[in-house]
Structure 1
């Protein structure tokens, strides 16, 4: 039986995005090993991660602009080849500065594979399929993030981190070539022949800006929960070991299922309703973390992941459905808000945890979840009025 073209497309998107995020997060579990090998402290070793994040932050908006002006498939191919080559360079780097430089260049070209891919999907997919495919995109970020950590710290012994880099590069090369060969050809950028859509245009549109705020708010809470949960669970009354806490991060896998299901839910009830549902599930998960029982924590994290990825998938679907031009720029702004929200969440939750413990983090998270909750309600009202 011939494979459904839309299923094949979802597979290509999933493979490419998961390979990219594997590359981003692969050094995280081996930072102490890098520190010992290169004779640097924690802050020096962490440059292997922060270098790629800095590159992403600097290049995200420029690649968003390119996605609105040029065909995207060649951009994907170029980005994949550069990120792959730099991954090999990082694996072979004899010094930390060369490793960090390779990682930084990787970061500069990651948006060619993330922001530009999201714009490509919005440009080529029919509205009925867009939510589901964007859900697969979101799920792939989960698999890649978890896969990078496992590949770097578990599949290969930590002292063999260079092999992990090489394997990640090979996976990315294969996914890039498959995507370039298998993604359908696109027409001319929708803005061709018309006045160019500027970043200011997509930033100041009220219906888009509230979705950027959803992106920032949801990741604000999600990053807060997962960054300060280990401190909470190491302390009384839990007293969990580091290994036990680490196993809880497997709850990320809930996002693999939640992404596509959120897309289907959005098609059925609307993006706004899905956003509201995700916010309520997310809030319930945070509330359950206050119950000092192991079963409650496990269930809470499953709900937190399900709620977060439902919000994220429905928000990206809603964003791209609203656009007829400027998709590259709008997706770039969305991703920028996403990472800014995560950084703000970690910082703010740190103060909350210092002052009020986990209860302070939970209260802060509940308050910020009002952003996606109220935005979802606004989207529902707008859909009824349309």
Structure 2
């Protein structure tokens, strides 16, 4: 499968996941529900993403990755069509849950295909491109959904997304020629054992912390902009998400960080420090400063993700499907909790305590990478 086609599939799949986010405040008002309940539209989609990838990773050790990707995208298209015609919040919420069950199949298929097809520096390069495509998909999904909602209603975006999913899915041509020569995994114990090393679990846990903070801030960004800075227009809120796109561009430079330092754990520790610093400066109630720090925050998150994803494949001795399934599980477990739990903190105590709570989680992630740095473990691209 050409890498450009794979990246295009990634972008459109991420449309599905993130499209509701800039519209949460609008949904809360439209359906007369609280911000935390509106946030469930993201939570119910991310919660299965925290669990299902482990199962899909096991399935992908025995099944064609591209076949699973194709049928998953067609199923996601059906969900988009249902959302476009429903008028009840409960049905919308249920469809988001179904999407959450389907999305990890697509994400694990794509990351496993990359991990199985490329090695070494090529792996880091292709994984960075993939991470960049997820960022573009996340930003474009948010921006397009907000603007479609303003012009023609949010239903029009879901029809558009369904059409893209069908076209790209039908273009996939699964190949059964390249076989996975990894040792067959015959039990859950065999499946989990290779990923239970201290070094790898610390990395996964740091990724959990990273995406917990990121999901929390992006999920409640519409409410912060509306309540703290009096920005209520969905199109303007979508523009603020441009910091997300800037991060995509910066993250493409991540492979070059290995030329600055060949110690991957040091790179991750420094990135976490900057990530934490941006959250601290956001406390200053100034919209220009907030947007600049939000952009820096996004850039750091993407660079951490682009560094951690290939690093997990390099230090793991497990099958690519196993390694990436666990990575996606930890990643979206943090995302699922981040879209919901901090909402209560924001509702009860406001923006400053909300940001401080995220800062504590972020510092925890940085500490875990620092522990790996101090341990002096050897990786493929540095000590």
TM normalised by structure 1 equals: 0.81
**Per-residue Cα deviation, 1:239-290 (whole angstroms, up to 9, x for no partner):** 4433466532211112211332113434774433431332233233234324
1:367 to 349, 363, 366: 363
* SS of equivalent to 1:114: helix
**Counterparts of 1:256 and 1:129 in 2: how far apart (Å)?**
19
Q: Which residue of 1 aligns with 2:292?
A: 299
- In the alignment, structure 1 residue 354 sits paired with structure 2 residue 376: no
**Counterparts of 2:285 and 2:13 in 1: how far apart (Å)?**
37
- In the alignment, structure 1 residue 170 sits paired with structure 2 residue 166: no
Q: Which residue of 2 aligns with 1:284?
A: 277
Q: Which residue of 1 aligns with 2:378?
A: 382
Q: Is the 8 A contact 2:72 2:106 kept in 1?
A: yes
How far off is 1:135 after superposition?
A: 1.4
Q: Which residue of 1 aligns with 2:77?
A: 84
Change (3 A) 1:280 1:184: farther
Spell out the pairing of 1:189-268 with structure 2 (5 A cutoff). Answer: 189-192=180-183, 198-227=190-219, 239-243=229-233, 247-266=239-258
Q: Is the 8 A contact 1:71 1:189 kept in 2?
A: no
Change (3 A) 1:193 1:314: same
Change (3 A) 1:379 1:316: farther
Q: Is the 8 A contact 1:190 1:324 kept in 2?
A: no
2:310 to 317, 322, 346: 317
* SS of equivalent to 1:68: coil
How far off is 1:20 after superposition?
A: 0.6
Q: Which moved more, 1:168-177 or 1:53-62?
A: 53-62
Q: Is the 8 A contact 1:124 1:186 kept in 2?
A: no
Change (3 A) 1:36 1:385: closer
* SS of equivalent to 2:61: helix
**Counterparts of 1:192 and 1:351 in 2: how far apart (Å)?**
46
**Counterparts of 2:184 and 2:15 in 1: how far apart (Å)?**
38
Q: Which residue of 2 aligns with 1:15?
A: 8
How far off is 1:376 after superposition?
A: 5.8
**Counterparts of 1:275 and 1:114 in 2: how far apart (Å)?**
23
How far off is 1:168 after superposition?
A: 0.5
Q: Which residue of 1 aligns with 2:116?
A: 123
**Unpaired segments ≥5 residues, structure 1:** none
Q: Is the 8 A contact 1:233 1:245 kept in 2?
A: yes
Change (3 A) 1:148 1:314: same
Q: What is the number of equivalent residue pairs in this alignment?
A: 374
Q: Is the 8 A contact 1:118 1:331 kept in 2?
A: yes
**Per-residue Cα deviation, 1:308-366 (whole angstroms, up to 9, x for no partner):** 11111111110112235332222222222222223445635854882963673465255
Spell out the pairing of 1:22-171 with structure 2 (5 A cutoff). Answer: 22-30=15-23, 41=33, 48-93=41-86, 98-157=91-150, 160-171=153-164
* SS of equivalent to 2:252: helix
Change (3 A) 1:279 1:376: farther
Q: Is the 8 A contact 1:142 1:253 kept in 2?
A: yes
**Counterparts of 1:261 and 1:358 in 2: how far apart (Å)?**
31
TM normalised by structure 2 equals: 0.81
**Counterparts of 2:222 and 2:102 in 1: how far apart (Å)?**
32
Q: Is the 8 A contact 2:272 2:300 kept in 1?
A: yes
**Counterparts of 2:297 and 2:29 in 1: how far apart (Å)?**
35
* SS of equivalent to 1:70: coil
Q: Is the 8 A contact 1:34 1:45 kept in 2?
A: yes
**Per-residue Cα deviation, 1:34-76 (whole angstroms, up to 9, x for no partner):** 6788x67457766654443344345322211111222211111
* SS of equivalent to 1:382: coil
**Per-residue Cα deviation, 1:174-212 (whole angstroms, up to 9, x for no partner):** 33334x23x876622233457667343144222221111
**Counterparts of 1:162 and 1:97 in 2: how far apart (Å)?**
16
Change (3 A) 1:99 1:284: closer
CA-based RMSD: 3.6
**Counterparts of 2:362 and 2:27 in 1: how far apart (Å)?**
37
* SS of equivalent to 2:378: helix
